[in-house]
Amino acid sequence: MLNEKVFSKNLCDHCLGRLYSGLLSGHTSEERGKAIRLSMAMMIDSGKVETKEIDMSNFHDFKFRNGSKPGKKEKCWMCSDIFDNLDKLAEKCVKRLGNLEFSSFLVGSKVSGQIHAREEKMWEINGIENVETIKTEINRELGKRIERLVKKPVAFKRPDILILANLEKARYDLQIGSLYVFGYYSKRKRGFPQCKWGTPGVYKTSVQEIIAKPFLKATESKHNSFHGGGREDIDARCMGWRPFVIEIEKPVKRKISLAKMRQEINKGSKVKVKSLKFCDRDTVVRVKTERGEKAYRVTVLFSKPVDKSDLKKLYKLKGVISQRTPTRVSHRRADLVRKRKVLDIKYKRISSKKIELMVKTNAGLYVKELVSGNGGRTKPSVSSMLGVEATPKDLDVTMVQKTRNV
Ligand SMILES: [Zn+2]
């Protein structure tokens, strides 16, 4: 196991010990390196090992009895003594963290191509069965030091902050993890979209902007993403509660009061929120993919009077609806015929040319087209059932099924 070829280059205790990381637990690479070096020094002193191929700098602080000459102290051939600088590097990283609020972090490091090449060279000499990479050791050793300085733990899964230490260029970059907050919103007014990106400049506000505003201020963030569990049309209200996750990007502050956020948002009359809670990225996927039941209320205007008794035909809409992608959304959704379900339908007659329709569906049914028929693309429809033109007006989402397990 004591391979003198390992000593053909001058290595520090860390770089030496990492070649044997897989052996014994409870020891650092540095300790392993010291032990291996001491053993080799004794082999040399016993005269059992030829020193011709050995870089004797490895033994600069040993005193041999058999006349072997220790070399001069030199920097580690592999790492140039990086590990001696880790305390300083840790301090630099902490400085870089500034006033960022976080509860966990992780270190990732980058070393030069030369270090990697030399590391591989040593692996060729001594085998890779028990090695650990230099990056892994730096990450761990730097992590330990930063842990002590900031008194926050390293987290391998979803750290708030990822510290990227480029040791070659002496650069320390931070990747700040987003802050995620789950909640339900209700849109109480018509005429503005859910997200701002859909129609830049056209609408003065959006559900996203209203909800994001106090969050951005409190977290000192500039950007956010909004993930809604479905969305309502610009001209529709959502009187039920729709699940969402707001993602605050690169927050400086994380310890914010959600009760205060709720109060701030709910001061306005357009959007209300409730049940805010911190969540993680998984919740975004859950909110976006969950397809629960929804209920709608819509006013329907007829092109000509419809008999009271004829309206009963509307109950037949309960069941499967075949719906080809509506013309109004065909620019952003594939042109397909989808099977959707009307789970329940009720109506209230207001006049011979006007009713209020209440529809319960599984997700994905376009209610406006269920009313109008969209030129035969939705079948059957209110229009086809009654044999009149039917126009939807004032659509409200009245219920969105709750997201489970959030
Ligand atoms: Zn080294």
Q: Are 333 and 358 in contact (CB under 8 A)?
A: no
Is there a single domain that holds both residue 99 and residue 171? yes
Question: Residue 218's domain is classified under what CATH number?
Answer: 3.30.70.2510
For residues 3-16, give the mean pLDDT.
96
Is there a single domain that holds both residue 99 and residue 188? no
Domain assignment present for 258 = yes
What element of type H or E holds 319?
strand 319-324
Is there a single domain that holds both residue 190 and residue 237? yes
Q: Tell how far the Cα of 78 is from the centroid of ligand 1, in angstroms.
A: 5
Instruction: Please check the confidence at residue 358 and state whether its pLDDT lies above 80.
Output: yes
For residues 369-392, give the mean pLDDT.
96
Q: Which residue is listed with tokens 């690169």?
A: 250
DSSP character for 49? Answer: S
Is there a single domain that holds both residue 161 and residue 203? no
Q: Tell how far the Cα of 95 is from the centroid of ligand 1, in angstroms.
A: 26
Is there a single domain that holds both residue 194 and residue 123? no
Supply the pLDDT for residue 200.
Answer: 65
Supply the pLDDT for residue 1.
Answer: 66
Q: Are 198 and 209 in contact (CB under 8 A)?
A: no
DSSP character for 40? Answer: H
Supply the pLDDT for residue 290.
Answer: 82
Domain assignment present for 265 = yes
Q: Tell how far the Cα of 119 is from the centroid of ligand 1, in angstroms.
A: 10
DSSP character for 52? Answer: T
For residues 381-394, give the mean pLDDT.
97
Domain assignment present for 246 = yes
Active site residues: 233
Per-residue pLDDT of 171-190, as tens digits, reads 899 999 999 999 999 999 99
Q: Tell how far the Cα of 57 is from the centroid of ligand 1, in angstroms.
A: 13
Query: How many domains does the chain fold into?
Result: 4
| Residue whose C-alpha is closest to residue 110's, from 142, 87, 88 | 142
Is there a single domain that holds both residue 393 and residue 305? yes
Supply the pLDDT for residue 182.
Answer: 97
Residue 236 corresponds to which tokens in the numbers above?
């529709």
Decide which of 158, 176, 194 is a domain's last residue: 176
Question: Residue 370's domain is classified under what CATH number?
Answer: 3.30.70.3190
Which residue range is the domain that position 10 belongs to?
4-59
Supply the pLDDT for residue 341.
Answer: 95
Is there a single domain that holds both residue 138 and residue 191? no
Decide which of 125, 159, 176 is a domain's last residue: 176
Per-residue pLDDT of 218-231, as tens digits, reads 999 999 999 999 99
Beta carbons within 8 Å of 140's beta carbon, 6+ residues apart: none
Burial class of 64 by CB neighbour count within 10 A (0 to 12, 13 to 18, 19+): middle
The 10 Å Cβ neighbour count of residue 182 is: 23
Q: Are 89 and 168 in contact (CB under 8 A)?
A: no
User: Which residues are in the CB-under-5-Å shell of ion ligand 1?
Assistant: 12, 15, 76, 78-79
H helices of 244-335, in order, are: 258-266, 281-289
Supply the pLDDT for residue 243.
Answer: 95
Is there a single domain that holds both residue 247 and residue 270? yes
Is there a single domain that holds both residue 52 and residue 93? no
- Range of lowest pLDDT (30-34, 96-100, 173-177, 196-200): 196-200
DSSP 113-159: HHHHHHHHHHHHHH-STT---HHHHHHHHHHHHHHHHH---B-SSS-
- Provide the mean pLDDT of the chain: 94
Is there a single domain that holds both residue 162 and residue 256? no
- Range of lowest pLDDT (8-12, 140-144, 289-293): 289-293
For residues 229-240, give the mean pLDDT.
94
Domain assignment present for 333 = yes
Instruction: Please check the confidence at residue 405 and state whether its pLDDT lies above 70.
Output: no
Q: Tell how far the Cα of 403 is from the centroid of ligand 1, in angstroms.
A: 53
Domain assignment present for 25 = yes
Burial class of 295 by CB neighbour count within 10 A (0 to 12, 13 to 18, 19+): buried
Is there a single domain that holds both residue 225 and residue 320? no
For residues 71-81, give the mean pLDDT.
96
Q: Tell how far the Cα of 92 is from the centroid of ligand 1, in angstroms.
A: 21
Supply the pLDDT for residue 403.
Answer: 73
Domain assignment present for 279 = yes
What is the maximum alpha-carbon separation in the chain?
117
Domain assignment present for 134 = yes
Decide which of 236, 257, 284 is a domain's last residue: 284
Per-residue pLDDT of 244-287, as tens digits, reads 999 999 999 999 999 999 999 999 999 999 999 999 999 999 99
Supply the pLDDT for residue 24.
Answer: 93
Question: Residue 171's domain is classified under what CATH number?
Answer: 3.30.2130.30
Instruction: Please check the confidence at residue 126 and state whether its pLDDT lies above 80.
Output: yes
Q: How confident is the model at residue 199 (pLDDT cuts 50, 70, 90)?
A: low
Q: Tell how far the Cα of 295 is from the centroid of ligand 1, in angstroms.
A: 66
Is there a single domain that holds both residue 298 and residue 374? yes
Q: Tell how far the Cα of 126 is from the centroid of ligand 1, in angstroms.
A: 16
| Residue whose C-alpha is closest to residue 9's, from 138, 127, 118 | 118
Instruction: Please check the confidence at residue 87 and state whether its pLDDT lies above 90.
Output: yes
Q: What's this model's pTM, rounded to 2 decimal places?
A: 0.84
Q: Tell how far the Cα of 15 is from the centroid of ligand 1, in angstroms.
A: 4
Domain assignment present for 406 = no
For residues 31-45, give the mean pLDDT.
96
Q: Tell how far the Cα of 324 is from the centroid of ligand 1, in angstroms.
A: 66
Supply the pLDDT for residue 402.
Answer: 82
